[in-house]
Structure 1
């Protein structure tokens, strides 16, 4: 029966491809601001610190909303809940076109952060519902490429819109496509229990793996927050997230202000670190089951090794200050993007490994809030210090944070669930 599920049932991969497309559009919308930032700074007379406040408005709202979005998804279900959030974030992004200065831009950015917070909890909930444990990092790796692929698409699309129709059109275009995806999701998604197209073999594979996981028996956010399992995920995510926020929100500004590129140069090269991030997301996803098969490593052990490998590779972007050219700096950013998405996928998948499917979105949202608090605080530090001490020591700090996160993960996650499913 298990063989039939592996060989004959592929519906779960179609489901995760739908999540991947939604994640692409989610990150396309949020990445538009970073590409348009040089134009908006000129149009509104924004300083780098004021821009960091606009970024912080998104981060603050996103941080607050993640556990709320996760709870809403667990209560409403993924089909309706994810579609509603997609409609809301599309409206919020289109509203950026009406900004007249950095305060109104920050307001619309906050609305976008509040509504986009559902994406990752929804994706991990789908992974927990549709995939056996051995395949979960693979599924997470594939849907997580949407975060960087959306960032790859943003520079050429936004720059084209700015030069063709003005900066307002960039937000209307990148927001408008989300409405189409919301309809596609509502039409196409069902749970494994409800989906009529799911074969009995694939259904048995999914359900068998779910039963064997031995997940932490938490039933509410109060139960979740009292577990060591939650903090063993939340603290590393707090330490690791500043790297992705720095790459997402400040690479275009860094390339313009430090490396001397113009807007066309940003469009030509700023997407490369996110392409590398896609590769890290996918290869990191396959790395964990390879470790389990090749070296007979436990499920949780494989997650920890993947995370640690990515943390060590973050030494690359820590050396950006030594780069002698813009090309060399971009290459080091590429190493950083690869490394971060490798370790991030492993950390996010742990929520599906350690918590029951009915609370996975809530647990993921709560851990995501911890991550985004770290990202928000560091973005404010970048905004306050980049114009005085420069970016180089800030990039070096990111590697230190990730190595600390790996140490915390190994220290806190020593025990494992009663049964680690190797389905």
Structure 2
């Protein structure tokens, strides 16, 4: 099936179709499973710390093992997905991380958890490069931030499901079962993906009108671009910097929130669920709202540069108050500050993850996302080691949350300096021969 790109305004909205949103729903489901898998440890950490006997520094190394593998995986995953395509590349990634998630049930020591987390990080690294590339293939630029915001909400849904389900499963069948049960979800998604997913031009259920809508942006070159060549451009470095500076804050929330709530407010495995669920529900709203906000600014007449950065500024300001969280005595006030910060991060991410498709052609998007994800994971490793050392030495989260609260304003300034107009990178790609 093929169709010539046409301006979106020439296709009546009622005739465009909505199949692309079904694809987005599959990305949402995959991201949800991805975060359920990685968040199981975060929920069980206070219990496993006593059961296995690790200290704060050792837990920092367990978290860092995941992030190191995630960084390595992201550096390779983008290029692999660009080469294999989203259908096979995504399937490969979820197959690896499913086996690794279940492998945690075999761990009985700090070394065992380090190995399991490393394997999980390698597999899970493929999720965001594959999902962002799929969005670039299935959505015109004006819809991409909203689509990214929707699938990125899966990170919060997964983080909500984990504290709901994990304590129940662990109490009934043991902590090993909590890791094993995620394999069923992953296998189900993998089977559906392989059975149903095809690129737009090969999808028989896609109407010609919707394909024309998807391809309504100006055509892009189709040649392959080595990822090292991408690093010559400051547009790449703007995305890398944004991820390196702000991803560590999300890693902090993901792996240390349960420990923070347990140590500061005396919560147990049985009582930690409601505060964590509240935090991630707020993050879910932020993920979708952040993508919607950029689109709203565009509809108000703002250009893409102003709209994207305006939305990022709003999100950055939502994170800043988390610096005060260690100064409050009330659990739910602390939950509110952390939830607002996580909502701000997810709204920020919905826009940051759209930057590669704003500035680069579709065939390079997964590679750029992979490079940026590598930088984010490297920053996360540094944050985990810093957090473990800080807590072991002082027992205080004060400095840790101060760093978290200031990171986003700094990152936005760096992005603006490196890409002041979000102009497309000049890759000097060869032109298609004239007809």
**Shared fold per TM-score greater than 0.5:** yes
**Structure 1 position 146 matched with structure 2 position 179:** no
What do the CA deviations read for 1:35-78 (whole angstroms, capped 9, x no partner)?
01112111111111111111100000001110211111111111
Contact conserved, 2:258 with 2:272, CA < 8 A, in 1? yes
| C-alpha separation in 1, matches of 2:266 and 2:85 | 48
1:268 offset after TM fit, Å?
2.2
Could you list the per-position Cα deviations for residues 145-181 of structure 1 after superposition, in whole angstroms to 9, with x for gaps in the alignment?
A: 0111100100121101110000000000123310111
Question: Residues 130-209 of structure 1: matches in 2 within 5 Å?
Answer: 130-209=138-217
Equivalent residues of 1:215, 1:354 under 8 A apart: no
- In structure 1, the residue matched to 2:433 is none
2:99 counterpart of 1:99: no
User: Partner residue of 1:7?
Assistant: 14
Deviation at 1:313, TM superposition (A): 1.3
Q: Which residue of 2 aligns with 1:123?
A: 131
Tell me whether 1:265 sits opposite 2:265 in the alignment.
Answer: no
Deviations 1:91-128 (A, max 9, x none): 10001000010111110110000001000101110111
- 2:120 is matched with which residue: 99, 112, 135? 112
Task: Indicate the larger mover: 378-387 or 91-100.
Answer: 378-387
* 1:190 counterpart SS class: coil
Quote how far apart the aligned CAs of 1:328 are: 1.2
1:126–1:50: structure 2 CA closer, same or farther, 3 Å change rule?
A: same
1:239 aligns with 2:248: no
Paired residues in the alignment total 416
Q: Aligned-pair distance for 1:217?
A: 8.8
Q: Would you say the 8 A contact 2:358–2:424 is kept in 1?
A: no
Offset of residue 417 of structure 1:
3.2
Q: Corresponding residue for 1:298?
A: 303
CA RMSD of aligned residues (A): 1.7
Q: TM-score w.r.t. structure 2 length?
A: 0.92
Q: So what's the TM-score if we normalise by structure 1?
A: 0.95
1:60, 1:277 → 2: CA distance? 25
Q: Is 1:16 matched up with 2:24?
A: yes
Describe how 1:279-298 pairs up with structure 2 within 5 A.
279-294=285-300, 296-298=301-303
Unmatched tracts of structure 1, length 5 or more: none
Whole-Å separation in 2 of the counterparts to 1:216 and 1:285: 27
Q: Which residue in 2 is equivalent to 1:54?
A: 62
Separation in 2 of the partners of 1:55 and 1:182? Answer: 26
Decide whether the 8 Å contact of 1:216 with 1:417 is kept in 2: no
1:210 and 1:365 map into 2 onto residues whose CA distance is 25
User: Which consecutive residues of structure 2, in runs of 5 or more, have no partner in the other structure?
Assistant: 1-5, 426-435
Q: 1:418 to 1:102 in 2, by over 3 A?
A: closer
Distance across 1 between alignment mates of 2:245 and 2:369: 16
Q: Which residue of 2 aligns with 1:411?
A: 417
CA distance in 2, matches of 1:262, 1:126: 40
